[in-house]
């Protein structure tokens, strides 16, 4: 489930802290990386739980309205379309989700005010009003509503970011990736789906887990050698004046190019150039691209870049693992 792109992001974050901290233990950096990845997996399940919480809040509103001293006709005959959402029902009945949430002690119980505000935000939206008033009542419509909630309401919602920050320092940066994964899972659900559908594992396979471990360990081990190499190809720049994040991104890129024979060079370069656009300066992507092109050309001429199989030397496109 955790993509290699997210693994690279998390490795970058951990390595940035590692090279600026007092503890230079490789084991600690590796443990920190896997802890950060596991928290992203927690967030994946936590967002499913949020959908259930919203449904339950809707139910509580309906029950309170019915208990009024003088309930209106609407109070007594409420629109239960959201309450009866088939996809939320399917998620709520999933034993694997329940077991995971219980094991990890994940809950929204301490954030009732946030759930209330989020529900009000959703209820005021055009798409929700259309859903509630539509004559169409289908599994597909129920599914699409949840995708709308996740993609339209959570980004740039200050209360949501505050909730995440209070629980994990990693989650705010993870949200875009994880929302995408939750939506992908929801879109695969069908009307005849078993309630005990399995969610994707934390790593797609053993290769991805080993990729995470080897990337962070070898970047640390190769640190001195890679910095010297970068210094050699930035002769018109003082290394101290180059953004430290740029240097680290180039270190990781060189490590990946050298240490992972089955990943095409082009794939690695593209990934780290994209990373620089998010985590460094506006000029960084062009700078990094230019320096890495020169270094990798030299490494290839010295037969230090050995690629195997599809994507040899990065001349072919893409990678199914990315």
DSSP assignment of 264-312 equals -HHHHHHHHHHHHHHHS-TTHHHHHHHHHHHHHHHHHHTT-----STTG
Q: Read off the pLDDT of residues 229-243 as tens digits, 9 standing for 90 and up.
A: 999 998 776 555 678
**In this model, does residue 322 exceed pLDDT 60?**
no
Global confidence as pTM: 0.89
pLDDT, position 318:
42
Structure tokens at 311: 């994507």
**In this model, does residue 46 exceed pLDDT 50?**
yes
User: CB count, 10 Å around CB of 300?
Assistant: 16
Q: Read off the pLDDT of residues 85-131 as tens digits, 9 standing for 90 and up.
A: 999 999 999 999 999 999 999 999 999 999 999 999 999 999 999 99
More confident residue, 1 or 213: 213
More confident residue, 70 or 54: 54
More confident residue, 237 or 163: 163
DSSP single-letter state for residue 96? H
User: CB count, 10 Å around CB of 156?
Assistant: 7
Residue 318 to residue 243: CA distance in whole angstroms = 29
How many H helices and E strands in the chain?
A: 15, 0
Fold of the CATH domain 222-314 = N-utilizing Substance Protein B Homolog; Chain A (1.10.940)
Residue intervals in the chain for CATH 1.10.940.10? 222-314
Structure tokens at 114: 């946030």
pLDDT, position 314:
44
């Amino acid at each position: 489930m955790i993509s290699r792109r997210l693994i690279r992001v998390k490795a970058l974050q951990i390595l940035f802290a590692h090279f600026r901290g007092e503890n230079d233990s490789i084991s600690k950096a590796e443990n920190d990386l896997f802890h950060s990845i596991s928290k992203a997996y927690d967030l994946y399940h936590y967002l499913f739980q949020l959908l259930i919480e919203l449904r339950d809040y809707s139910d509580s509103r309906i029950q309170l309205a019915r208990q009024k001293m003088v309930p209106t006709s609407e109070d007594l005959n409420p629109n239960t379309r959201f309450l009866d959402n088939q996809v939320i029902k399917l998620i709520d009945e999933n034993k694997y989700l329940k077991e995971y949430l219980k094991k990890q002690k994940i809950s929204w119980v301490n954030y009732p005010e946030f759930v209330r505000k989020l529900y009000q935000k959703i209820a005021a939206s055009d798409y929700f009003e259309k859903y509630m008033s539509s004559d169409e009542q289908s599994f597909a419509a129920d599914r699409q509503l949840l995708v709308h909630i996740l993609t339209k309401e959570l980004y740039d919602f200050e209360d949501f970011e505050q909730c995440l920050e209070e629980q994990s320092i990693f989650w705010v940066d993870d949200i875009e990736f994880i929302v995408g994964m939750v939506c992908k899972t929801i879109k695969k659900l069908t009307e005849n789906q078993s309630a005990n559908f399995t969610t994707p594992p934390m790593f797609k396979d053993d290769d991805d887990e080993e990729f995470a471990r080897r990337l962070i360990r070898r970047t640390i081990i190769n640190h001195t050698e890679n910095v010297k190499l970068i210094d050699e190809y930035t002769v018109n720049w003082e290394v101290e004046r180059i953004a430290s994040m740029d240097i680290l991104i180039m270190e990781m890129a060189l490590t990946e190019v050298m240490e992972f024979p089955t990943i095409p060079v082009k794939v690695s370069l593209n990934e780290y150039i994209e990373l620089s656009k998010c985590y460094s300066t506006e000029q960084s992507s062009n700078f990094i691209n230019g320096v890495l092109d020169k270094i990798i050309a030299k490494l290839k001429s010295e037969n230090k870049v050995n690629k195997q199989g599809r994507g040899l030397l990065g001349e072919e496109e893409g990678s199914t693992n990315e």
